[in-house]
């Protein structure tokens, strides 16, 4: 069968975790996919380890450049008509590829589809799935055209499949963003198109599996700084095409939330508030 889908898995110093992710792809049916693992300059010999296993995958080794550059490297060599993404610390469940492909083939007007997802914390599955936790209405599930600090989306990269042609139209992931790069991409797509979703959990988001996860408490400063960078990109793009009053309000409120988190992070950095208080108050700000 022709390879219709390219599965792009970026990774950095996660040779054991990425193997689990790869195996969750290789059980998918039908076998109309190629697996592209992009090693983003790992120092743990990920490339050598994966090559020794002789798995049916392609491996790209590149200098460290961040998650966007890794995804973009995979996109550029992908031979599939569709591209699916999987973060190297997450898992797919059986049926996700077929469900996504079936959806896109039966909805030619939609360039992106995502599925619901289970969430695991410390190895235990939380009660609600990502979609259930978001409390999104039907419109919110199919559109993501406001800043991510205001419009909470249930989209997660590890549940997304897109038509490869969309990148010819709107460009690749923004390599200037260390985080929020996926949010910025979904914004760009949703400005022009409706998004598709499958209300079924077909993946597992494993928050704590990588102890060096970019959004651990020690990296809240990055969340703030990159948040302002993301907002500037969003604001500039909105201004060029004509900003709505709803967007003006959303942009203002987004900056206010970022500023609140910034003050909170400074208190945490000075050890005035605890990590528990930091996380609790962060949730209050963004819900």
- Residue the block writes with tokens 């992931």: 173
> Rounded to 5 degrees, what are φ and ψ at 56?
-80, 65
**Superfamily of chain region 5-206:** Spore Coat Polysaccharide Biosynthesis Protein SpsA; Chain A (3.90.550.10)
Q: How far apart are CA 261 and CA 259, in angstroms?
A: 5
Give one DSSP letter per residue of 243-283, joined into a string.
--HHHHHHHHHHHHHHHHHHHHHHHHHTTSS-HHHHHHHHH
How confident is the prediction along the chain (287 residues), in pLDDT tens digits per residue?
Answer: 456 999 999 999 999 999 999 999 999 999 999 999 999 999 999 999 999 999 999 999 999 999 999 999 999 999 999 999 999 999 999 999 999 999 999 999 999 999 999 999 888 898 899 988 887 887 788 999 899 999 888 899 999 999 999 999 999 999 999 999 999 999 999 999 999 999 999 999 997 655 555 455 667 889 999 999 999 999 999 999 999 999 999 999 999 999 999 999 999 889 998 888 888 888 888 87
- On the CB side of 272, CA atoms within 13 Å amount to 7
CB 62 within 8 A of CB 73: yes
Q: What pTM was computed for the model?
A: 0.93
Task: Look at residue 210 in the predicted model and tell me its pLDDT.
Answer: 53
Q: For the chain, how big is the Rg over CA atoms in Å? A: 19
Q: To 5 degrees, how large is the angle CA 268–CA 215–CA 15? A: 135
**CB under 8 Å to 138, separation ≥6 — which residues?**
none
**CB neighbours of 195 closer than 8 A, spacing ≥ 6?**
110, 112, 113, 114, 141, 142, 143, 144, 155, 186, 189
DSSP codes of every residue in 177-234: -SSSHHHHHHHHHHTTS--EEEEEEEEEEETTSSTT-TTSGGGHHHHHHHHHHHHHHH
The pLDDT value given to residue 214: 46
């Amino acid at each position: 069968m022709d390879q219709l889908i390219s599965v792009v898995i970026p990774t950095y110093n996660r040779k054991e975790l990425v193997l689990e992710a790869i195996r969750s792809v290789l059980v998918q049916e039908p076998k109309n996919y190629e697996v592209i693992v992009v090693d983003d300059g790992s120092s743990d010999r990920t490339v050598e380890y994966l090559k020794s296993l002789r798995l049916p995958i392609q491996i790209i080794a590149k200098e460290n450049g961040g998650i966007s550059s890794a995804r973009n490297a995979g996109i550029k060599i992908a031979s599939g008509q569709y591209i699916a993404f999987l973060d190297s610390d997450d898992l797919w469940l059986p049926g996700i590829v077929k469900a996504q492909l079936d959806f896109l083939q039966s909805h030619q007007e939609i360039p992106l589809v995502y599925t619901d997802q289970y969430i695991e914390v410390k190895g235990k599955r939380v009660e609600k799935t990502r979609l259930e936790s978001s409390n999104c209405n039907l419109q919110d599930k199919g559109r993501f055209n406001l800043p991510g600090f205001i419009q909470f989306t249930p989209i997660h990269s590890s549940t997304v499949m897109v038509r490869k042609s969309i990148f010819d139209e709107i460009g690749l992931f923004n390599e200037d963003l260390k985080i929020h790069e996926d949010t910025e991409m979904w914004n760009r797509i949703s400005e022009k198109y409706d998004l598709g979703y499958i209300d079924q959990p077909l993946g597992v988001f494993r928050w704590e599996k990588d102890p060096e996860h970019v959004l651990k408490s020690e990296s809240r400063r990055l969340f703030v700084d990159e948040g302002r960078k993301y907002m500037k990109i969003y604001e500039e793009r909105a201004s060029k095409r004509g900003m709505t009053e709803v967007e003006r309000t959303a942009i203002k409120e987004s900056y206010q939330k970022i500023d609140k988190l910034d003050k909170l992070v400074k208190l945490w950095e000075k050890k005035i508030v605890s990590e528990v208080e930091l996380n609790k108050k962060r949730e209050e700000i963004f819900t």
